[in-house]
Structure 1
């Protein structure tokens, strides 16, 4: 492995760990950053939907839905970019995400019950569904805990990924030393 790549790998691991520590120590700033990124993604998605509508509205089935989706995405994107710290927008966003998680969990429970007849490990899907429903309800009832949990999970992931990269970097250094490179 070239020296430049080894150095970049080392820097990557250190940066991931540093970012993970920052996220753990600054959960509010992390959520503001995430809100801004989601706002940017929604803005681009909305712009694409609007462009699709205005260039192909006569050829698309359900083009009015694409128009509505584009308008809503652009509005949400602008609001999240301009007001990433707005508690109203954060609460609406978290509420919608909570309802989405609850519905996904309920569907998983439903599919698990259907799969019970022919799938040996149907209970795994049931457990996942129940956990999703419980997490969604918790997110609705305790939004602050949910927001902090998101930051903690992200921080732990970044730190563990950085440690893994540094571990690989260290093993390669030992291997190179053992073979005389």
Structure 2
């Protein structure tokens, strides 16, 4: 446990604002989807593709910029590469994306939820306060992912609202993560 990302990373937290920026972008996307439900399904495939692509690039930059300070930086890199590949696939096949969007969203959220849960336990082991909220938001993200994957036909009808809620919960998680990393940075400094 002593070699977890949070107990050994000293300058990894210098880029805490990346998580904050991603959280704000996710929340903005969620609010936008709520406000435009009819037009959202078509545009959701485009917007979602771009968000996954940008998220992948951000995670790759974060992992590479902190590879000497994070012992398990490869997991961040793997997550970023996975997001980047999914984003490229979604952008390059827009008609197919609209047909199978619930599955793409479901599996992407599944990965994000498991990552959030893992990070919350790392926060707990590093005695970072409010780690329980991160765990709760990660579980909530998993619930949305399982709902999308359980019934893709129904999910196609309700994907706009479920995706909006998932973006909002993932955004809140990222913001909590950013402030936890910032607290850790202040403690290290």
Query: TM-score surpassing 0.5?
Result: no
Instruction: Identify the TM-score tier after normalising by the shorter chain.
Output: 0.3 to 0.5
